[in-house]
Amino acid sequence: MKFFVDTALIDEIVELNDTGMLDGVTTNPSLIAKSGRDFKQVIAEICKIIAGPVSAEVAATDFAGMVAEGEVLAKIADNVVIKVPLTYDGLKACRHFTGAGIKTNVTLCFSANQALLAAKVGATYISPFIGRLDDTNIDGMELIADIRTIYDNYGFATQILAASIRGANHVSDAALSGADVATIPPGVLRKLYDHPLTDKGLAAFVKDWASTGQSIL
C-alpha cells in the first residue's frame, strides 16, 4: 500500500518524507486555508520536496471553471494531480484531464456507483471518505471492499485512495479491504509505528545492555 500524507504544512512533509515512508501528498482547500499561505506557492514547494503525486484541488464547481483552474495547477509541476469533486461537472472535467494526459484524483466519493463512474471516465485515483461514512453509521471499509471488487471485475486501472482516515486501525483495515493508497493525517501516520509493547521491550533491552557495561563503539 502507498502512503500519502494529508497536509499542506511544509515542515511536516519534510520531516515525514525524510523517513522514506511517503509516496505522495494530498491537499484540499481546508488544509491550505489552515496553512495561511498562497495556494499555488504551497503546491510548488510540496512538489519540490516530494517526487510522487501531489493532489491539488480545484476551487471551481462548474466544468469550465474546473478545466481552467486545473490547467493552471497542472503547469506548476509534472507531479501535480488535479483533484476534482465527484459531481457531474467534476466527472466531465476528469474526462477532459485524462484525455490531456493529466492525472486526476476524484474526491468526495461515498458510494460504489460513484466510484464506478470515476473509473469509467479514467480517474487516476478515487477517494472514498471512509471516516465520514463511519460518522453516519455506514461501514466505510465495506465501500472500499465493494470498489475493489468492481474494479477487479472489469480491470479498471483507477487506484483506490482511502481518505478521511481517523485512526491507525483505519489504515490496516483499508489495506485488508484492498485499497491501493491511504492518505493519512500526520498525527495518525506517526501512530502507525507506536506500540506500548515495543516501548516496553526496548526499555528492557536498554536496561539489560547497560548492565553488561559494554560499548559497541
Residues designated catalytic: 83
Residue for grid cell 509505528: 193
- The SS3 assignment for 187 reads helix
- The SS3 assignment for 111 reads coil
Question: Which bin fits 213, alpha (ψ -120 to 50), beta or left (φ > 0)?
Answer: left
> What dihedral angle (degrees, nearest 10) is formed by the CA atoms of 92, 95, 101, 107?
70
With a CB cutoff of 8 Å and minimum separation 6, the contacts of 176 are 141
> What dihedral angle (degrees, nearest 10) is formed by the CA atoms of 31, 36, 40, 44?
-80
Do 82 and 97 form a contact (C-beta atoms < 8 A)? yes
Q: Give the residue ranges of DSSP H helices in the chain.
A: 10-17, 29-35, 39-49, 63-74, 88-99, 112-120, 130-135, 140-154, 168-177, 186-191, 196-212
